[in-house]
Amino acid sequence: MKRETKKVLAEILLILLVCSYNPMFIFAFIWVFLHELTHIFIALKYGCKFYNIGFHIFGLNAELSDINILKDKEKISIYLSGAVFNIISATLIYLISFRYNNRFIEESINLNIGLAIFNLLPAYPLDGSRILEVILSKKILFKKAQRIISIISFIIAGLFIIIGIYIYIFLHSLNFSMIIGAIIIIYITRMEAHTSMYITMGNIVKKRKKLLKDNYIENKSISVYYKQGLVNVLALVDRNKFNTFYILDDDMKLIYILYEDELIEALKCYGNMTLEEYIKGKS
Gap between the Cα atoms of 44 and 41, Å rounded: 5
Helix-strand-coil percent breakdown of the chain, rounded to 5?
Answer: 65, 15, 20
CA dihedral 200, 204, 205, 210 (to 10 degrees): 130
The whole-number pLDDT of residue 77 equals: 95
**Strand, coil or helix: 97:** helix
216-282: what fold? CBS-domain (3.10.580)
153 has pLDDT over 70: yes
pLDDT at res. 20: 47
Instruction: Give the helix ranges, DSSP H, for 69-141.
Output: 72-97, 103-119, 127-137
The residue that leads in pLDDT, 173 or 199, is 173
pLDDT higher than threshold 60 for residue 16: no
Which of 46-55, 116-125, 175-184, 211-220 is modeled with the greatest confidence?
A: 116-125
Query: Is the sign of the CA dihedral 106, 107, 113, 114 positive or negative?
Result: positive
Which of 26, 1, 27 shows the shortest CA–CA distance to 13? 26
Domain range annotation of the chain: 1-120, 122-194, 216-282
pLDDT confidence of 205, banded at 50, 70, 90? low
Q: What are the pLDDT digits (tens) for 95-145?
A: 999 888 788 888 889 889 988 998 899 998 888 999 999 899 778 777 788
Task: Give the helix/strand (H/E) hosting 164.
Answer: helix 142-170
Is pLDDT larger for residue 47 or for residue 251?
251
Cα torsion at 191, 203, 125, 22 (round to 10°)? -110
